[in-house]
A = this chain, B = another copy of it.
């Protein structure tokens, strides 16, 4: 998606540890018009799929998913929360997720009543690197007997293993920008 790549080139900041900061438009400050265009792109890619629901993870996936859901006819979005919240029911699906960014483990949680057997689900997230967050969502879908129809990603780090692994597992992954390489010394970002 050209618009997203241009924004990454213009505003993305490369940091040590394979960190690409795009927080001026994607995951701290949110450009909701860009989100609409991202939703349109995913809706076009997954046009032949039946999508009942979008699943994502708090916090960065929520805004993108809620705006993108409008491009899918306003399907519901369910976001997995990290760690236990007393505001959630006891009747929950949970999965452990390792965060390479924060260097810790989290439990992601979805109330069972919001994911039904046989529901057709699109997973959306802002980044795909090692795929740990997606593993958690896929594990929850497996527990719920829901059908993962596809995976919509804003920025895939193509030099990390998650995307390759997901595609080899048979998932239809639509990444709107795939970073082939990035150089912390020059700040240069190249796309696949």
Contact = CB atoms under 8 A, between A and B. Distances in A.
Nearest to A73: B33
A185 interface: no
Nearest to A81: B59
Chain A binding surface SS class: mixed
Interface stretch (A64-72, A140-148, A173-181): A64-72
Interface string A1-41: 00000000000000000010101100111111101100000
A87 interface: yes
A19 B87 contact: yes
Contacts of A85: 101-102
Interface string A83-99: 00111100000000000
A129 interface: no
A62 interface: yes
16 contacts: A19-B86, A19-B87, A23-B88, A23-B111, A28-B78, A28-B79, A28-B81, A28-B88, A30-B77, A30-B78, A31-B74, A32-B70, A63-B63, A63-B77, A64-B66, A87-B101
